[in-house]
A = this chain, B = another copy of it.
């Protein structure tokens, strides 16, 4: 008995010497050990430590302390909590503080009112206390079949901006101050920008995109055919989900864009591909009866990754194939805006008279990838389906950025920026090509794309593997994009995809030296 009193004394000392005792479960357990059955009055003085200097309101501190005591089993189920008046006096706080904490505990079910007054710790608390000591091994997820496909990322590339990065514009040349003004202007519209509505895009942006597409791409569409989404990837994913049943066939270009392969795989499609030559995809060898595609994905303006323009003949063959197979075509026009030699190439969408072409565009390259604004132009028969799908998938950009993008287009900044960047990128392409040619390496087959942001260097010597070139680069902090992963089949050309759009003049020579050192 005497020993217990000594311990009590020590705890009192501890309490008064330390203004705030942080809530430590071990401390509770120590105390619990001392007093097997804490009485409510003792609880007030010893189990709870409140810090008046702390930001957290006292009632919240009290609530948390009591809750932890309850869930740790230190204040057992059925225990009556002290009356708020006595408790408040013991703690040196106002009675309202205690009442607020009690109310909160009751609200969350930690306590229940006792018939005739008073607050009891709820029975469930005991279950919780018991639960505490049981198995705490993290649960392992069992993903769905499509979920396993959805989380697979085929793109091994690092995403940080680096020299030779593909598809990446030079952000330092984007008119940040102007953009800042437009964003500010949009923010000042406040609630007028809308709430949950406009999930297929702000009408002003739909109109601006439609107007721009008529002029620059020969895509004639009503604004309501334009579905604004956060990224081109979202456009591809939505389209694959809408059309593809497991094992349905998707026809891809060989080599082709990985983003579409991912979207098609996530829908569990059967992937087939047709080879690409300098005229674009060649579907003449495809046995359409045997392999009847449901969706066809192409990049006619500027084939990804090889950079060729699809010829009229091939375009017509493709439209015919789609007709005979009953397929829809995804035309990904990802960087058609940057065209150096000749004007931009017309869209496949403009040639199509059966409304089979789903046109996908993005502002990631013409403005900034970080904006996350892209769009789909869908045939009228598909508007309702995409409208429902976009709302249910929730891949919608914020209204501020949509409004600012609309102004950027409508007020002429977009065209001016494109004009400037096209000039810059053309210079950078020429510089990259002349540097590559200056090496006089017969093993390098250098393409000269008529537009876009990257070029392909194929390795003509069998001993050069793009894998090893990439590994050499990684050692020097460069992540070269390899050509071979873009092939679906076994026959893969080795080579590199070299982005030049983000290659600033000051970095050019050093980057070229690294590149040269990486190619055996």
> How far is B176's CA from A230's CA once the two chains are assembled, in angstroms?
23
Are B144 and A242 touching (Cβ within 8 A)?
yes
- Residues 108-158 of A contacting B (Cβ, < 8 Å): 108-110, 122-125, 127-128, 131-132, 135-147, 150-153, 155, 158
Are A122 and B372 touching (Cβ within 8 A)?
no
Are A397 and B230 touching (Cβ within 8 A)?
yes
Are A394 and B316 touching (Cβ within 8 A)?
no
| Interface residue A275 (Cβ < 8 Å from any Cβ of B) | no
> How far is B151's CA from A87's CA once the two chains are assembled, in angstroms?
58
Are B393 and A150 touching (Cβ within 8 A)?
yes
Smallest distance from the beta carbon of A107 to chain B beta carbons, Å? Answer: 5
| Interface residue A231 (Cβ < 8 Å from any Cβ of B) | yes
Name the CB-closest residue of B to A242.
B147
Instruction: Provide the A366-396 mask, 1 if CB < 8 A to any CB of B, else 0.
Output: 0011111100000111101111110111111
Are A395 and B230 touching (Cβ within 8 A)?
yes
Are B389 and A150 touching (Cβ within 8 A)?
yes
Are A183 and B400 touching (Cβ within 8 A)?
yes
Residue of B158, B267, B370, B381 touching A140 (CB-CB under 8 A): B381
Instruction: List chain B residues, Cβ under 8 A from A398.
Output: 230, 370-373, 397-398, 401
Residue of B139, B313, B342 touching A107 (CB-CB under 8 A): B342
By the criterion of a CB under 8 Å from any partner CB, how many residues of chain A are at the interface? Answer: 143
Instruction: List chain B residues, Cβ under 8 A from A388.
Output: 150-153
> How far is B190's CA from A170's CA once the two chains are assembled, in angstroms?
10
Instruction: List chain B residues, Cβ under 8 A from A315.
Output: 109
- Residues 387-419 of A contacting B (Cβ, < 8 Å): 387-389, 391-401
Are B171 and A450 touching (Cβ within 8 A)?
no
Are A139 and B103 touching (Cβ within 8 A)?
no
A328-B195 CB under 8 A given contacts A242-B147, A401-B398:
no
Residue of B140, B174, B312, B397 touching A397 (CB-CB under 8 A): B397
Are B372 and A139 touching (Cβ within 8 A)?
no
Are A232 and B394 touching (Cβ within 8 A)?
yes
Instruction: List chain B residues, Cβ under 8 A from A330.
Output: none
> How far is B235's CA from A395's CA once the two chains are assembled, in angstroms?
10
Instruction: Provide the A230-253 mask, 1 if CB < 8 A to any CB of B, else 0.
Output: 111111110001111100100000
Instruction: Provide the A316-358 mask, 1 if CB < 8 A to any CB of B, else 0.
Output: 1001100100101000000000000111011000010111100
Are A195 and B368 touching (Cβ within 8 A)?
yes
Are A343 and B244 touching (Cβ within 8 A)?
no
| Interface residue A100 (Cβ < 8 Å from any Cβ of B) | yes
Instruction: List chain B residues, Cβ under 8 A from A145.
Output: 245
Residue of B152, B341, B395 touching A395 (CB-CB under 8 A): B395
A326-B142 CB under 8 A given contacts A122-B312, A197-B160, A391-B153:
yes
- Residues 166-202 of A contacting B (Cβ, < 8 Å): 167-168, 170-172, 174, 176-177, 179-181, 183-191, 193-199
Residue of B107, B122, B328, B353 touching A309 (CB-CB under 8 A): B107
Are B144 and A243 touching (Cβ within 8 A)?
yes
| Interface residue A104 (Cβ < 8 Å from any Cβ of B) | yes
> How far is B142's CA from A244's CA once the two chains are assembled, in angstroms?
9
| Interface residue A59 (Cβ < 8 Å from any Cβ of B) | yes
Instruction: List chain B residues, Cβ under 8 A from A229.
Output: 394
Name the CB-closest residue of B to A374.
B394
Highest count of chain B CB atoms <10 Å: which of A104, A128, A141, A267: A141
Instruction: List chain B residues, Cβ under 8 A from A345.
Output: 104, 107-108
| Interface residue A41 (Cβ < 8 Å from any Cβ of B) | no
Instruction: List chain B residues, Cβ under 8 A from A167.
Output: 196
Highest count of chain B CB atoms <10 Å: which of A155, A310, A391: A391
| Interface residue A159 (Cβ < 8 Å from any Cβ of B) | yes
> How far is B134's CA from A188's CA once the two chains are assembled, in angstroms?
52
Are A187 and B183 touching (Cβ within 8 A)?
yes
> How far is B198's CA from A171's CA once the two chains are assembled, in angstroms?
16
Are B230 and A394 touching (Cβ within 8 A)?
yes
| Interface residue A429 (Cβ < 8 Å from any Cβ of B) | no
Smallest distance from the beta carbon of A432 to chain B beta carbons, Å? Answer: 19
Name the CB-closest residue of B to A191.
B171
Are A392 and B263 touching (Cβ within 8 A)?
yes
Instruction: List chain B residues, Cβ under 8 A from A514.
Output: none
3 closest residue pairs by CB, A with B: A171-B191, A109-B311, A233-B394
Other A-B contacts than A151-B389, A171-B195, A234-B394, 8 sampled, CB-CB below 8 A, are A122-B311, A124-B312, A128-B316, A146-B241, A161-B197, A183-B186, A262-B392, A263-B392
A-B contact pairs, 10 of them (CB 8 A): A109-B313, A109-B314, A151-B389, A153-B388, A161-B191, A171-B195, A230-B394, A234-B394, A237-B392, A372-B399
